[in-house]
Amino acid sequence: MTPSEQRDFIRNYLVPELKRASVAVGILVLDHNYDQFNDINTILDDDVVRASVRGTAYHCYSGDYTQMSLNHHPELPMFQTECASMLDDEPQDLFKEWMEGYVLGPITLGSVGAMAWNLCLDQTGGVHDHGCYGCAGLMTTDFSEAEPTLNYSPEYYALAHFSRFLRNSERVELEGGDADLQAVAFANADGAMSAMLWNGSDIVKTIRLQVDACNSFEYDVPPQSATTFVWDNETPTM
């Protein structure tokens, strides 16, 4: 479907039918790659459509996350809804790509979530029906030996730096920074705080995290590594 066809379908058919059937769902427009931001703008520049949808959805397979900022309507929530990696990719390269471009990067531009495709596959990238040959899941069940083993992927650990700590969270502003460091911070509804950092350089970066007027700490972030800090407005921990 062209962007104009998607816009007209949402406005003239999808939304009226959902209302008629009393189906309460949220519509995410596009659900395609970063570099198709013009399609999103064509769809959302329509006032009726914009008022009827939940947000926008992106995939990672072409373009890069910085193109999310070219969306004319950032007031609508943005989601990174699909990204997959290949079984033969280098683990360190995968971890770097996911931290920089698929999770932390989109969050810095306002994305409210990140998802991977698939959850668990076998050692050949299956089971699938004419899908992505060689795609890797967040987990891989290896049936090549007599006793199957479950292996966790680099993207699993990249997502874990966020998902295990965020519960009904709101992003809070961080001041300061370093060109080689990406960082975001969150406040949970229960009062817990967290900060996630990625050091994409090849040297150790010493950071000082100022929690409040009286509490701060320093930490040496290793090169090419991710670090998560959590605290309860008293003592930060790694």
Does residue 46 register a pLDDT over 90?
yes
> Which domains, ranges and CATH numbers included, belong to the chain?
3-167 (3.20.20.80), 168-238 (2.60.40.1180)
DSSP string over 82-137: E--EETTS-HHHHHHHIIIIIIHHHHHTTEEEE--S-SEEETTS-S-SSS-TTEE-
The yes-or-no verdict on residue 122 having pLDDT over 90 is yes
pTM for this predicted structure: 0.87
Residue 186: pLDDT over 80: yes
* pLDDT tier for residue 88 given thresholds of 50, 70 and 90: confident
Rounded distance between C-alpha atoms, residue 142 and residue 159, angstroms = 21
Cα–Cα dist 158/91, whole Å: 11
Q: Is residue 3's pLDDT more than 80?
A: yes
